[in-house]
Chains A and B, each alone.
Chain A
């Protein structure tokens, strides 16, 4: 079996300090209306690791990503990148959103060049950078198109190229392929694997899909129903396999069984909360 239970909490991972989530908790609202989205979450991610977080709907996994991205502030605790506390959004943390985050009024090339331009690079230089990353995601021929002229899968590639163009330390990806059809998603997953291997980026990946998590990640976290906390964590070896058909092996099926059964309990709990509310 290629997944092994592991502890990802900071105390157990002295060497992994790229991204540290130090007892981060989040509560929305106050008084009787307050909703505890996230119980204290403690985890450490090493440079070049690919951490996938799976959990039932509303478990706070997107909240966790938003805190790391700097879009939201934790109620308690602290997220740190390379030892520096995260206080707001920043170009060292590139974000890829599910959809609808491209700048519809700009050409594909201008979307990708936006980051370098915002960081003060010249128009020509930004254009070159954009061209390089558009080539990486295979969209060179569409540089002059507008996002609305592209398919959903191509739009997500633009989003990935745009996030990469600033050469961020960490890539934060919030269910980037959730809105895509199965075939497109599988192809993009393979591309992400290739990009991750060639760039060695640290990636934090939120997903609903257990298969996606197991296929891509070096580490997988299963979260509980709301209020979210870490239920289990695993190291995962499938992302090192060069063969994309690794998803059809018995070992993969066995790993999936383990994670599915963990997640199933939490999904049932989430459903119970929903119908009770």
Chain B
């Protein structure tokens, strides 16, 4: 929270309420860590990790130690002609381009849909009717249309994220309280000012929610995008390794994607707390 501490002292009721929240947050953070540690411990235990005979065959589930060793080996020697960093960056790029496009185009489109019923009437049917279609099912079609290059892969991710981001922006605008708009009007604000200083900032929390949801889904979509017609990318690496029953490589790929998704979520969550620290506190 920015600019909060100024002028407040220890008897401040706001600070008191905050400290209770902080205590709970600290406890929940420990619970989260404990849950994570327990998961890791179970994985250790059932795979033996060299300390005792594994309960499941290593080909099914390699131990965390093996996975770590494989990670180091892949980082040194690469996989199938490309470095691990290359696989990671190419996946990040595919996701990044699609995601950036959806934010840069989808948010304004959603905002316009929220503000003009005409725009909504035109754009709502195509978005709503295509939304339930699993976008992966369209991948073969996209490859026929856009070739086997990067374009089809980017478009399949865009197809999944665009409706999410634009519709959350639309709903965010429509949820802005009419009282705040009335207040701005009676203070002499014109349409431009109301958009810039009321509608847009008031919609930011909703837009952020849409963006955060779409980060998780976007990373998932990488798997689909790299399923066919490619020879690099983290998801491709995991999929290819599965064909050769290299479960340790599969797990390295899966964990890298998980870390990517989690890391991006952390970034956007931090951004959200900075930018819309006032969200939901009306």
Chain A positions within 8 Å of B, measured between CB atoms, are: 69-71, 88-91, 93-95, 97, 100-107, 114-115, 117-119, 141-142, 144-149, 162-163, 166, 172
In the assembled complex, which residues on chain B have CB atoms less than 8 Å from the CB atom of A89?
Answer: 182, 185-186
Known contacts: A95-B186, A141-B7. The answer to whether A104 contacts B278 by CB under 8 A is yes
Q: In the complex, given contacts A71-B182, A145-B3, what are 14 additional A-B residue pairs having Cβ atoms less than 8 angstroms apart?
A: A70-B185, A88-B185, A90-B186, A100-B177, A100-B180, A102-B180, A103-B183, A104-B202, A114-B197, A118-B190, A146-B3, A148-B278, A148-B281, A148-B282
Nearest chain A residue, comparing its CB with the CB of B12: A149
In the assembled complex, which residues on chain A have CB atoms less than 8 Å from the CB atom of B193?
Answer: 117-118
In the assembled complex, which residues on chain B have CB atoms less than 8 Å from the CB atom of A117?
Answer: 193
A-B contact pairs, 30 of them (CB 8 A): A71-B185, A71-B186, A88-B185, A90-B188, A95-B182, A95-B186, A97-B179, A97-B183, A101-B179, A101-B180, A101-B182, A102-B180, A102-B183, A104-B281, A105-B202, A105-B204, A106-B197, A107-B3, A114-B187, A114-B197, A115-B187, A118-B187, A118-B189, A119-B188, A142-B7, A144-B3, A147-B278, A148-B278, A162-B187, A166-B188
> Which residue from B6, B179, B180, B188 sits with its C-beta under 8 Å from A144?
B6
> Which residue from A97, A103, A144, A148 sits with its C-beta under 8 Å from B198?
A103
Query: What distance in Å separates the Cβ of A45 from its nearest Cβ neighbour in chain B?
Result: 18
In the assembled complex, which residues on chain A have CB atoms less than 8 Å from the CB atom of B277?
Answer: 146
A149 to B182, CA, bound (A): 23
In the assembled complex, which residues on chain B have CB atoms less than 8 Å from the CB atom of A163?
Answer: 186-187
Contact across chains for B281 and A95 when beta carbons are under 8 A apart: no
A97 to B185, CA, bound (A): 13
Contact across chains for A166 and B187 when beta carbons are under 8 A apart: yes
In the assembled complex, which residues on chain A have CB atoms less than 8 Å from the CB atom of B204?
Answer: 105
In the assembled complex, which residues on chain A have CB atoms less than 8 Å from the CB atom of B201?
Answer: 103, 105-106
> Which residue from A90, A91, A100 sits with its C-beta under 8 Å from B179?
A100
Known contacts: A105-B204, A148-B282. The answer to whether A118 contacts B3 by CB under 8 A is no
A101 to B276, CA, bound (A): 17
In the assembled complex, which residues on chain A have CB atoms less than 8 Å from the CB atom of B4?
Answer: 145-146, 149
- Confirm or deny: B14 has a beta carbon within 8 angstroms of a beta carbon on chain A: yes
Known contacts: A100-B282, A148-B278, A148-B281. The answer to whether A115 contacts B188 by CB under 8 A is yes
Interface size class of B (residues with CB under 8 A): 20 to 34
| Binary per-residue interface labels of chain B (1-29) against chain A in the complex, 1 for a CB within 8 Å, 0 otherwise | 00110110000001000000000000000
Task: Choose among B184, B185, B187, B282 the residue with the greatest number of A CB atoms under 10 Å from its CB.
Answer: B187
Contact across chains for A103 and B188 when beta carbons are under 8 A apart: no
In the assembled complex, which residues on chain B have CB atoms less than 8 Å from the CB atom of A147?
Answer: 278
| Binary per-residue interface labels of chain B (153-189) against chain A in the complex, 1 for a CB within 8 Å, 0 otherwise | 0000000000000000000000001011011111111
Contact across chains for B276 and A105 when beta carbons are under 8 A apart: yes
Query: What distance in Å separates the Cβ of A130 from its nearest Cβ neighbour in chain B?
Result: 12
A101 to B197, CA, bound (A): 14
In the assembled complex, which residues on chain A have CB atoms less than 8 Å from the CB atom of B282?
Answer: 100, 104, 148
Query: What distance in Å separates the Cβ of B116 from its nearest Cβ neighbour in chain A?
Result: 19
CB within 8 Å of A: which of B53-105? none
A135 to B115, CA, bound (A): 37
> Which residue from A115, A144, A148, A172 sits with its C-beta under 8 Å from B7?
A144
Nearest chain B residue, comparing its CB with the CB of A159: B183
Contact across chains for A93 and B186 when beta carbons are under 8 A apart: yes
The 9 closest A-B pairs by CB, nearest first: A91-B188, A148-B281, A89-B185, A115-B187, A118-B189, A105-B201, A89-B186, A101-B183, A101-B179
Nearest chain B residue, comparing its CB with the CB of A120: B188
In the assembled complex, which residues on chain A have CB atoms less than 8 Å from the CB atom of B184?
Answer: 103, 114, 118
Contact across chains for B278 and A105 when beta carbons are under 8 A apart: yes
A70 to B185, CA, bound (A): 9
In the assembled complex, which residues on chain A have CB atoms less than 8 Å from the CB atom of B197?
Answer: 103, 106, 114
Nearest chain B residue, comparing its CB with the CB of A155: B282
Known contacts: A103-B197, A114-B197. The answer to whether A146 contacts B278 by CB under 8 A is yes
Query: What distance in Å separates the Cβ of B281 from its nearest Cβ neighbour in chain A?
Result: 3
In the assembled complex, which residues on chain A have CB atoms less than 8 Å from the CB atom of B186?
Answer: 69-71, 89-91, 93-95, 163, 172
Query: What distance in Å separates the Cβ of A116 from its nearest Cβ neighbour in chain B?
Result: 9
In the assembled complex, which residues on chain B have CB atoms less than 8 Å from the CB atom of A90?
Answer: 186, 188
> Which residue from B14, B180, B281 sits with its C-beta under 8 Å from A103?
B180
Nearest chain B residue, comparing its CB with the CB of A151: B13
In the assembled complex, which residues on chain A have CB atoms less than 8 Å from the CB atom of B177?
Answer: 100-101
A100 to B197, CA, bound (A): 16
| Binary per-residue interface labels of chain B (203-217) against chain A in the complex, 1 for a CB within 8 Å, 0 otherwise | 010000000000000
A141 to B180, CA, bound (A): 25
In the assembled complex, which residues on chain A have CB atoms less than 8 Å from the CB atom of B179?
Answer: 97, 100-101
Task: Choose among A69, A97, A104, A117 the residue with the greatest number of B CB atoms under 10 Å from its CB.
Answer: A104
A260 to B197, CA, bound (A): 44
Query: What distance in Å separates the Cβ of A244 from its nearest Cβ neighbour in chain B?
Result: 26
Nearest chain B residue, comparing its CB with the CB of A92: B188
